[in-house]
Amino acid sequence: GVRSAEYKFTRVFTGIRRPRRTRIGTEFAGRVEEVGAAVTEFRVGDEVFGIRHGANAELVTVAESGVLVHKPAGLTDEEAAAVPEGALLVLSCLKAAFPLAGKSVLVYGAAGSVGTAAVQLLAHHFGAEVTAVCDTKDVELVRSLGAQEVVDRLREDFTENGRTYDVVFDAVGKHSFRRCRRSLKPGGIYISMDLGFMYHIPLLALGTRFVGSKRATIGLGRYRRDDLLLVKELVEAGTYRPVIDRTYDLEEIVEATRYVEAGQKTGNVVLHVGGRSR
């Protein structure tokens, strides 16, 4: 899959002066082609999905202990490839606000790959009361994913309507704690997927731990195999589904990246490796 991220933020991890990795991509799905002699959990021919840096390729090598599990029943490779990253980032980033059952949570950027995952997990797994913010074209989709209330950001500014929430989750890193603070209840927390201008979100995270009752934190995601197993169960139970905007051939990766960076996609953009669509 192809996901957008603010370039200053991603360069902290991908390299300041030059790329640390020459191959991009994180999530994948496909068939096991070879296994090592000591591997016991997987066999040649198994359908799997998971997380591995450099996943935008025809073949990837993954450790048996890595973030890799058998693919959910009933999903195509393209559908399965659209599941891991968004869901695992959400499960990791929202831990700062646990427990979430019964809490009011606003998701800003609810129609992106992370946002669509957040709405579903919050509503169907964590039992939170979800308000989602998205563009006009995505309102009905986001509502169908489980949001109790949907705010059209092109028609209404959620920071000005007087409503408050236990958690504001900025799934695209485009808002700010300063503006969202008024939308937080006492003791509420603002979680951003971006470091912010001059990396101010980590500084806010440190400062707000000691000043006032409202906090800010940065959602640094960790990919965990146990979380992927959980998401697989949710998919097979029918309480989580991948949202795919477009599928491109691997050879069209430049075009796919340009589309993602334009900021208009809904859900996920998937790269298809030749001839295996099922």
Write the pLDDT tens digit of every residue in 215-269. 988 887 899 999 999 999 999 999 999 999 999 999 999 999 999 999 889 999 9
* Domain membership flag for residue 70: yes
Same domain, 259 and 199: no
Contact criterion met (CB below 8 Å) for 32 and 50: no
Write down the pLDDT at residue 278: 37
The CATH code of the domain that includes 133 is 3.40.50.720
Contact in structure between 156 and 134 (CB atoms under 8 Å): no
The answer on 209 and 91 residing in a single domain is yes
Strand 215-218 relative to strand 244-249, pairing: unpaired
**Same domain assignment for residues 189 and 99:** yes
For 173-209, the pLDDT digits (tens) are: 888 888 999 999 999 999 998 754 434 444 444 445 5
Tell me whether residue 77 is in a domain.
Answer: yes
**Domain for residue 232, yes or no?**
no
Q: Is the pLDDT of residue 24 over 50?
A: yes
**Which pLDDT tens digit goes with each residue over 38-56?**
999 999 999 999 999 999 9
Same structural domain for residues 119 and 186?
yes
Confidence at residue 200, expressed as pLDDT on a 0 to 100 scale: 46
- Do 74 and 164 share a domain, yes or no? no
Q: Is 78 helix (H, G, I), strand (E, B) or coil?
A: helix
Is residue 157 situated within a structural domain? yes
- The answer to whether residue 20 is domain-embedded is yes
Domain span including residue 187: 86-218
Residues 181-201 as b or e (16 or more Cβ within 10 Å = b): bebbeeebbbbbbbbbeeebb
Average pLDDT over residues 82-95: 96
In this structure, the dihedral spanned by the alpha carbons of residues 245, 247, 253 and 259, taken in order and rounded to 10 degrees, is -20
Single out the residue in 203, 218, 233 at which a domain terminates: 218
Give domain status of residue 195, yes or no.
Answer: yes
208 and 186 in a common domain: yes
* Phi, psi (deg, nearest 5) at residue 209: -70, -25
Number of domains the chain is built from: 2
Q: Averaged over 132-152, what is the pLDDT?
A: 98
The verdict on 91 and 19 lying in the same domain is: no
Residues 77 and 44 reside in one and the same domain = yes
* Whether residue 57 sits in one domain with residue 23: yes
Task: Give yes or no: residues 70 and 90 share one domain.
Answer: no
Residues 109 and 24 in one domain: no
In a domain, 231, yes or no: no
Q: Is the pLDDT of residue 126 over 80?
A: yes
Q: Are residues 121 and 62 in the same domain?
A: no
